[in-house]
Chain A
Amino acid sequence: MEPINWHTFFFLLFSLLAVVFAVAVVVASNVVRMAFYLIMSLGAAAGLFFLAGADFVGAMQLMIYVGGTLVLLIFGVMLTAQGPFISMKTRGGDWILAALLAGILLALLIPAAFSVPAWRNRATPEYLAGVRERPATSAPLAMGLVGARVDRLAEADANRREGMAGYLLPFEIVSVHLLVVLVGAAYLARTKRRATAERRLL
């Protein structure tokens, strides 16, 4: 018997968790349970990121997605979960259409995943032995965000080096976008008590 490859073992574990809970989100009709399944699915996806060597992105996934966005969603669920809205059943005809859509999309995407030979290649132990010496990704990512690509200094091809600018401009755009979005969200979700306040004054 060949020895177990633990990377593959944990990949299978996390991918099964992610996929099963993602399907459970679709199948469940209770919105509170859907939120819980979504937390499990996204947490397992963070495990997949760690396994792919993206430690910073995995940590961000856990902190921002699982710790922030989903708490926001669960607050939304708690604020609107009253009586008939907790569990809203999808109609039978909609299920058939959705299953058809899912089948067509999967039939397109899964052959596409295997269509390119380079994507099917797997790492050899000799190659992995050289790769593991690299440092964590958070510092190169931060340098990339402020405009310096320290991870690709050794790029030999001049044409490819052209396209390897940093991400300072997207970073700025995202920052301003976040500010605008937060102001907009606070404006949209504010409590409208103006009418009652005027009445109290009178």
Chain B
Amino acid sequence: MNLLSEPVGVSHYMIVGAVMFVAGVVCMASKRNLLGVLMGIELVLNGANVNFVAFSSRFLQSEEGRSLGLDGQLIAVFVIVLAAAEAAVALAITLNFYNNYGTVDVDRASELKG
């Protein structure tokens, strides 16, 4: 019951962020579907966002003035907006690739290989 009665700290949030980040990196590295790689990128950005929000939170600190304040939340908003922009462009590239080659397998995108 100790786990449920103790308050959480920044470290707990960082572990969640780290696991999401690692899941995203593995997703990017191991998926063969282009859209799977995109989903990995979303997971990585979100793991970073969890850390930013945790550092900016006043509820996870033990005294006033320790937290990052609103800077962390502002950066998290920027990350969300940039992730949306990145998803739009990457999806357009994916659809173009699919129209030209008839596949979404990243291993088949090897024309630039030396």
Which A residues have a C-beta under 8 Å from some C-beta of B? Answer: 1-5, 7-9, 11-12, 15, 18-19, 22-23, 25-26, 31, 34-35, 38, 41-42, 45, 48-49, 51-54, 56-57, 60-61, 64-65, 68-70, 72-73, 75-77, 79-80, 85, 88-90, 94-95, 97-99, 101-102, 105-106, 109-110, 112-114, 118-124, 127-128, 130-131, 134, 137, 140-141, 144-145, 149, 151-152, 164, 167, 170, 174, 177-178, 181-182, 184-186, 188-189, 192
Contact = CB atoms under 8 A, between A and B. Distances in A.
Given A131-B58, A185-B88, A9 B11 contact: no
Interface residues of B, number: 83
Contacts of B1: 1-2, 4
Contact of B30 (A7, A95, A109): A95
Given A42-B42, A123-B59, A22 B70 contact: no
A44 B74 CA distance: 20
Interface in B51-101: 53-54, 56-64, 66, 69-71, 73-74, 76-78, 80-89, 91-96, 98-99
A121 B62 contact: yes
Contacts, number: 285
B5 A49 contact: no
A42 to B, nearest CB: 6
